[in-house]
Amino acid sequence: MELTDILTPEGVIPSLKAKSKKHALQEISHHAAEVTGIADRQILETLLKREKLGSTGIGKGVGIPHGKLAGLDRLHAMVARLDHPVEFDSADDVPVDVIIVLLAPEEASGDHLKALAKFSRLLRDPPLLEKLRSQTTADGIISVLTTERASNAA
């Protein structure tokens, strides 16, 4: 599975204005609803339910909320670069300004876990993360995440 299979320009929000973690997840859920055809309320409830189990803030200003949803036909990735970091209850207490949302079909096998691991590895690379933060377009963000160097991180 390649990231280009699950991440499209329509799934990228290059400049998200949010005042809190919940607000960011609401905005991303609304955007994800347009891309997936699943109700934004259902997406938000799934993401918030996952957050109650423990924060998906992985550190270094990155959060990777994820969940499984009935009605999805394939794995979807959404990427949001926040204009201002928000508190995300991350283990390192660093506010989050990059959010990757993974939405998987309810009956998904291990592909969503592979995608989660791939994004986690990618976003641990400080130069790649810095380059990602400097992007202002969907195409630029996708390019950073799918370059050869990024592909090798998997």
pLDDT of residue 147: 83
User: Does 46 map to a domain?
Assistant: yes
For residue 23, what is the domain's CATH number?
3.40.930.10
**In this predicted model, what pLDDT tens digit does every residue of 109-118 receive, in sequence order?**
788 889 999 9
| pLDDT of residue 152 exceeding 70 | no
Could you give the C-alpha distances from 84 to 7, 18, 22, 109, 131, in angstroms and in order? 23, 7, 14, 35, 17
User: Does 126 map to a domain?
Assistant: yes
**In this predicted model, what pLDDT tens digit does every residue of 89-141 receive, in sequence order?**
998 999 999 999 999 999 887 888 899 999 999 999 999 999 999 999 999 99
pLDDT of residue 153: 52
pTM (two decimals) = 0.93
User: Does 17 map to a domain?
Assistant: yes
User: Does 51 map to a domain?
Assistant: yes
User: Does 154 map to a domain?
Assistant: no
**In this predicted model, what pLDDT tens digit does every residue of 10-64 receive, in sequence order?**
999 999 999 999 999 999 999 999 999 999 999 999 999 999 999 999 999 999 9
pLDDT of residue 108: 81
User: Does 121 map to a domain?
Assistant: yes
User: Does 153 map to a domain?
Assistant: no
User: Does 151 map to a domain?
Assistant: no
Which residue range forms the structural domain that includes residue 31?
3-146
- Whether 76 is catalytic: no
Decide: 12 and 79 in contact? Cβ < 8 Å: yes
Distance CA 36, CA 28 (A): 12
Domain count, the chain: 1
Catalytic residue, chosen from 23, 30, 31, 66, is 66
